[in-house]
Each structure stands twice: as C-alpha cells, then as structure tokens.
A and B are shown apart, each in its own frame.
Chain A
Amino acid sequence: MRTYANPQMLVTTQWVDEHKNDAALVIAEVDVDTAVYNEGHIPGAIGWNWQTQLCDTVQRDIISRTALENLLGSSSISNNSTIVLYGDNNNWFAAWALWQLKMYGHKDVRIMNGGRKKWLAESRELTRDVPTPKPMMYKVSGYNDKYRAMMRQVQKAMEDENVILVDVRSNDEFTGKILSPPGLPETCQRGGHIPGAKNIPWAQACNDDGTFKSADELEALYASKGVTRDKPVIAYCRIGERSSHTWFVLNELLGYPNVSNYDGSWTEWGNLVGAPVEKGA
C-alpha cells in the first residue's frame, strides 16, 4: 500500500490532542457553518470565518496579502508557526484556508484528518473559551499563482486535450438538473458544466468518519476518470471551496505536480455571456 505523497500534511485527532498546548502550534477551526465554533471547539483553537476573514469582502477575490498578514498576526501566528486547520463537513473550508495559505507561502500548515466531526464523535475535550492571541508580526513571503486558475486559463484549457478539468460538484449540478445545491443562495444563470469536464464529486475523497481515503483509493478514484499525474489538472466547483478540497487531495496527498483551483468556478462560468456550456452526464 502506498503512502500519501506528503503525509506530514495530515495530523490525527490523537496527535492534536497530545500537542494542542504546544507553543509553536496554532490550531484554527474553519467551518462551513460559521456558528458551530461557538458550540464548543478544541481548547486553544481560534476560529476563522470564511465569509468575512478568508476572502475579500468588497470585490470577489481571495484574501489580500495585507488582510492575511493582519489575520495571521492577530492570531499569534509567525512565519515559523505550525498551523493545524480543521473544520466541519470533511474539512471542507479548512481546505479552503489551507489552499490560500499555501499560495501565500506559509511553510507549515496541516489538516487534522477527520476534522470537527471526528473530534466530536470521539468525545474529545471541547471548550467555549475563546482564546485571546498575543499579536505578532507576520510577513507574507510570496505568492504562488500556480495553484490558482483564472477564467482565461480555463478558457484555454477547455481547448487543450492535455489539460483535465475536474468538476467536483454533485452530479445534479454537473448535469444542469439544478443550479445550486438545495437551500443555498449563490446561483447562476445557466446550469451544466464546462465542456469536456470530468465529474468527480469532492466528498468521494473521504470516508464516512471524515478522514481522507487511502492513497491507493484516491489514485484509483481519479484515475478512473482519466485524472492522472502526467497531465495538468484544473478543479472547479461552484464558488471554489469544494475544489480547494480536491486541490488538496491531488496536490498534497497524491503529489500531482500541476494542479490548480479555478475559484471563479460555476458562479463565474455559468453567468458569463457566451461561455460554452455542456449539459447532461
């Protein structure tokens, strides 16, 4: 059985339980449901809100360099800190945070395998105490844009048989049966997918307990749809967060060398005038 390409990217709930008081470690919870942090969280963990703290709240974009420096500094994170991220729903938005931190060059950021779900299911310690981090200076060391695909790159990729587009939304979104997942507001003018894209829903990468499937299982899952390490891969979803999870799997766990996340995703493409759309399976 093979191991993950970068096994250090994942830590277990047991490891976090044993190291949660380490001075060089900062634990951050990032949830889809931004209210659950207040129900109880890992002692010492800070909470980041993806809707207000991990994006540009004026124009549609990822967090700016300055805002990230402020967020990390105010979270008592230095450039040498180890950051462990976790969250609800298979670490969905923890992966969104990780993708941005990796683009901005933070060296040591990891995910707690299984996330909040596993921590709660194992009845590990929780608190409602919100930490008051001592502010630090954080300086972003660079910006790695190879992890991000913009619309024009996707338009070119659509014409290039060598590039694999992976749509990680549900099959109903992919086929155009629905415009957005039930109960969610962000929508689009047209349903369907980018022509040529393969549909591999993001959560297929996870086990029922929220942990990631084994390297062998993941490799087989993506290879079954022609997603292999020898080709550039662009993942997308609806607003770029589910696809950041797939980016994590392909880039970090499987070590594919050329994987990017199109965070404009379907809420950009499905609203573009004149953009080609394919419907059905």
Chain B
Amino acid sequence: MKAQDYHTESREVAGVAIKVTTYKIGDLYHCHIANADPGATIARAEAATRDEAERSAVAKATERLKTPVPK
C-alpha cells in the first residue's frame, strides 16, 4: 500500500489562509485542511474521489473557522 496523487495547495476560506493536502491510500482519498501557520489540522475528510474529499473537508473547515474560539 502506498500513497498516490499526493498534492498540496494553499487557499483561503472564511478569510483564513489554509493548506489543503490530498492523497489516495488504498481506495480512499484523504483530504486534510490545516491552518497555514502553524499547519495544524482543522478539518479532514475521506471519500472515493479527490473532489468529494476536498469539498467535504473544506466545508468542515469553513464551519470551524467561522465558530469563534472561546476566550
């Protein structure tokens, strides 16, 4: 088993710079969304296709980033 189609790119959601990383392991595409700095994961998703995994992860990240951090 190996990772395939490893791809990473920078985007912005909810006004926040993020890094989107996707790759395929076995039958599943894994997508991880991290804040640009320091690079901590804020959302992830798995799906049968790259598009589906990214769409789902970005939706989760958007929701999380819109939620205020409690003080």
B64 touches A201 (CB 8 A): no
How many A-B residue pairs lie within 8 Å, measured between CB atoms? 82
Binding site for B on A (CB under 8 A): 32-33, 35-36, 39-40, 89-90, 92, 119-121, 123-128, 169-170, 172, 179-185, 187, 189, 201-203, 237, 242
Q: Give the nearest-CB partner of A202 in chain B.
A: B38
- B residues at A contact (CB < 8 Å): 1-4, 6, 16, 23, 25-26, 30, 32, 34-35, 37-42, 44, 61, 64-65, 69-71
Hey, which chain A residues are within 8 Å of B64, CB to CB? 183
Compute how far the CA of A190 lies from the CA of B16 in the bound complex, rounded to whole angstroms: 21
CB-CB under 8 A for A39 and B25, given A33-B41, A184-B35: yes
Residues of B near A170 (CB, < 8 A) are 37-38
10 contacting pairs across A/B (C-beta < 8 A): A35-B44, A36-B32, A126-B25, A172-B37, A179-B69, A183-B64, A184-B69, A185-B70, A202-B38, A242-B38
With a cutoff of 8 Å between Cβ atoms, the chain A residues found around residue B34 in the complex are 89
CA distance A182 to B36 in the complex (A): 9
Given A36-B32, A187-B69: A123 in contact with B38 (beta carbons within 8 A): no
Q: Which residue from A127, A179, A182, A203 sits with its C-beta under 8 Å from B42? A: A182
Residues of A contacting B38 in the complex (Cβ-Cβ under 8 angstroms): 89, 92, 169-170, 181, 202-203, 237, 242
